[in-house]
Structure 1
Amino acid sequence: MSYLSEVMNKVDFDDDIEIKELFFTFNVSKFDHYLTPDEYSNEDLICYSDIKNDPLKEKYFNSINSQFLKLYSGLHGLSNGNISLLIDGVIQEDVSDREYNSALSNAMKEKPLCGFLFSNLGLYVMTGYDLTHSFYMLKNKVHLLGNINDMIKNSGLFILDL
């Protein structure tokens, strides 16, 4: 079991103090800022289920999905494929590329949401419903943050502080 997996099994994500002691945290989003309630209500596409049967919304979602896939492909490479999944509170260690890609595709469509542990990076990513994913990087791995920030920017996504 990786150090990151051990931490994940012990950490209480409801304890802000513990989170701040262990992790450097930020969100990655399609949006360049946190949406106000009015902006959220007026946004055409917040999550996959907003597509319904609208081909324009589906095309728009697919373009956003491509941005996230580009980011996650970069994280996969940077982590040398050393990835685990967190689904329904259970960590699945060292998943195959096929399992990783399937989980990523399903997470982008909220079927189900899951978390990705990039053990070599000390990075846990929790996917979200609103095209915003939460990143938790172990403080002893923040030296990798520059590379990850570059990947985020190159994918066309935005970094939002928590």
Structure 2
Amino acid sequence: MARIPEEGVFTQGKIDASTGARWIYVTPQMARAHPKGRLSLGLWLIVTYFIAVAALRIIELAQYEALPVGAAAVLVAIPLLCALLLALRAPWGAVLVIILSVLSVVGSLSRMGGADPIGLINTLVLIAVAVYLHEGDRPNLIYRHRYRSYKSKEGADGAAK
């Protein structure tokens, strides 16, 4: 396990007026060394989901052969790339998942006439994963190297100074 650096670099963001929280930015080394900087069971399940999506696309493309080889390779490579980047704790992994979920929503809206329950389920799962990666405390520490601080001007216990 990596060791937390002796001298930390903390950069504070603006305080949110509605919640009183602020983002505290840390270095990637500090985030990786923190115990919450490792992947949790939920994040490993997300990685496994993307691997399963790629495997199912390989099976589907092998059965139907409806797409050219290049397009089929892209359809398989994107979820594998998401899984790899998320497992390696690369910041672009979370960004790629959010982009993929937006593209899935656009694709689902363009196919509204056709019934595709598997595609709809995939879109809903991608939206849930994207929201978790964007709002979750652990994913923010891992992929964006920041955490929420709820300390106000009054102090940690809420008593005015």
Q: Same fold (TM over 0.5)?
A: no
Question: Which of 1 and 2 has higher RCO (CA within 8 Å, sep 6+)?
Answer: 1
Which is richer in helix?
2
TM superposition score normalised by structure 2: 0.35
TM superposition score normalised by structure 1: 0.35
